[in-house]
Copies of this chain bind each other. A is one copy, B any other.
């Protein structure tokens, strides 16, 4: 068997998410179908991160095994051909050793969240950002973000559907950038709880709206109750930006 690593970009708007499900088309199923059409082999595709319905990826990583050897460029171009006209693209294909696993070998994942902060509705960013009309206090959001860094019980920042055994996670970086009324929140960690980034963003927005003080993040983490954190930010602003190995 030969193991192939792929880098995948997609617009998640019309998908049920990464993971194969009965109620609609998933990225995983689209990829497995295209691989089957190209290679006549039935494969399972393993992704580094299970993005939710509506979440996009700039650089998702996945792997699958083939019995046959194929030229890497032919896999990339062939899959892109079969994926057409879906908004899913194979950016790169590499052959990797059989101990590589897209999910378990990942050292770090990076998610990026895009907020457009202005009175006017979205045009060029429709479906690709969260529009917030009330002016956010970026300085306070930056201060609040710093309290997330480190190893914590993030029980307050997981959805009720989260199946992770532990809610102890280490956050490596939370960066809040403000570029001309567009706010980007980038979060890096080895792994994430379900909806963690979206709940973190919803809570940082509460800080930006001055509903809670930046320092309050420390208490919300400490008490570890989902009720104290902010709302789950909408899927359309979230991008799986990178996976590092």
Q: How many copies does the complex hold?
A: 2
A11/B124 in contact, CB under 8 A? yes
CB distance from A31 to the nearest CB of B (A): 13
Provide the bound-state CA to CA distance between A183 and B58, in Å: 16
| Contact indicator B119/A77 (Cβ below 8 Å) | yes
A82-99 interface bits toward B, Cβ cutoff 8 Å, 1 = contact, 0 = none: 001001111100000000
User: Per-position contact with B for A58-92: 1 when CB-CB < 8 Å, else 0?
Assistant: 10000000000000010011001000100111110
- With a cutoff of 8 Å between Cβ atoms, the chain B residues found around residue A128 in the complex are 124
Contacts of A89 in B (CB 8 A): 120-123
Q: How far is the CA of A64 from the CA of B40 in the complex (A)?
A: 62
- Name the one of B77, B119, B124 contacting A87, with C-beta atoms under 8 angstroms: B124
Q: Is A10 located at the chain interface by the 8 A CB criterion?
A: yes
Given A123-B10, A123-B11, A126-B11, check contact A91 B76 (CB 8 Å). Answer: no
Report how far A83 CA is from B73 CA in the complex, Å: 45
Q: How far is the CA of A77 from the CA of B133 in the complex (A)?
A: 11
- Chain B residues with CB below 8 A from A90, complex form: 120
Instruction: Provide the bound-state CA to CA distance between A73 and B76, in Å.
Output: 50
| Cα-based distance from A241 to B241 in the complex (angstroms) | 25
Please give me the residue from chain B that is nearest to A127 by CB atom.
B124
**Per-position 1/0 for A106-128, Cβ under 8 A of B:** 00000000000011111110101
The answer to the question of A9 belonging to the interface, with a C-beta cut-off of 8 Å to chain B, is yes
Task: Return the chain B residue nearest A79 by Cβ.
Answer: B120
A119 to B79, CA, bound (A): 12
Please list 24 pairs of residues, one from A and one from B, whose beta carbons are closer than 8 Å in the complex, sorted by A's number.
Answer: A9-B120, A9-B123, A9-B124, A10-B123, A10-B124, A11-B123, A11-B124, A11-B126, A56-B124, A58-B124, A73-B119, A76-B120, A80-B120, A80-B121, A84-B121, A87-B123, A87-B124, A87-B126, A88-B123, A89-B121, A89-B122, A91-B118, A91-B120, A124-B128
Binding site for B on A (CB under 8 A): 9-11, 56, 58, 73, 76-77, 80, 84, 87-91, 118-124, 126, 128
